[in-house]
């Protein structure tokens, strides 16, 4: 699963840059955020993965998508500029790739517990001693020790939402139409034409 989601992440991140249509680029950005959150779930960092999904996908990427759709940007054929800047861009990307590989090979050592390429014989004793996940631990601390502060923050956010709705509602500018019977009866028949 790790290799599957990492390949999806690399492909979607590459497509964010390559695709010329900006709507497709934002959709590939959403796909890359979701695959990164899936990788974090696999690595048992549930809280950070949920933050990725809620903040990046739920707020920022959707905002990008709405802005791009509202701007109605015309797609332009950029092959001339792509061919023009391709040698310099590929040279810079190869330099960055070599720098990243040099840092990885220098700072990261191989796992001494790993006997084969795909099978890891390392046994996680921490998981056996403490079965709580991050989200359960944060939930217990938040809803047991800080429940009053959590409720006050919720009420403040609720009042902010209600206040913004009240401020945006404009009162009706026209008065309700009333019928003046005397003016209707006193009209002349010739005034209709």
| pLDDT given for residue 178 in this prediction | 77
Q: What is the pLDDT of residues 2-20, one digit of tens each?
A: 899 999 999 999 999 888 7
- How far apart (Å, rounded) are the C-alpha atoms in residues 31 and 34? 5
| pLDDT given for residue 7 in this prediction | 94
- Mean pLDDT score, 136-146: 83
Q: Kindly tell me if the per-residue pLDDT of 191 is higher than 70.
A: no
The CA R_g of the chain, rounded to the nearest whole Å, is 30
Compute the half-sphere exposure of residue 170: CA atoms within 13 Å on the CB side of its CA. 3
| Angle (nearest 5°) at CA 154 between 148 and 156 | 105
- Cα torsion for 134, 135, 137, 140, to the nearest 10°? 170
| pLDDT given for residue 173 in this prediction | 66
Q: Kindly tell me if the per-residue pLDDT of 60 is higher than 90.
A: no
Q: Which fold would CATH assign to domain 1-76?
A: 1.20.120
DSSP state of 112: T
The neighbouring-strand residues paired with 120 are 114
62-71 vs 22-42: helix crossing angle, rounded to 10: 170
Confirm whether pTM is higher than 0.85: no
């Amino acid at each position: 699963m790790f290799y599957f989601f990492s390949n999806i992440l690399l492909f979607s991140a590459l497509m964010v840059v390559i695709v010329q249509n900006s709507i497709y680029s934002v959709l590939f950005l959403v796909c890359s955020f979701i695959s990164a959150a899936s990788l974090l779930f696999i690595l048992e960092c549930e809280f950070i993965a949920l933050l990725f999904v809620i903040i990046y996908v739920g707020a920022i990427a959707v905002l990008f998508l709405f802005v791009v759709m509202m701007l109605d940007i015309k797609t332009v054929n950029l092959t001339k500029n792509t061919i023009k800047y391709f040698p310099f861009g590929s040279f810079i990307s190869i330099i960055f790739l070599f720098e990243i590989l040099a840092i990885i090979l220098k700072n990261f050592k191989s796992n001494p517990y790993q006997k084969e390429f795909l099978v890891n014989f390392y046994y996680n004793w921490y998981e056996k001693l403490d079965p709580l996940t991050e989200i359960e631990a944060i939930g217990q601390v938040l809803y047991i020790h800080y429940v009053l502060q959590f409720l006050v923050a919720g009420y403040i956010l609720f009042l902010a939402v209600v206040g913004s709705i009240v401020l945006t509602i404009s009162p009706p500018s026209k008065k309700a139409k009333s019928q003046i019977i005397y003016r209707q009866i006193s009209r002349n028949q010739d005034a209709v034409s």
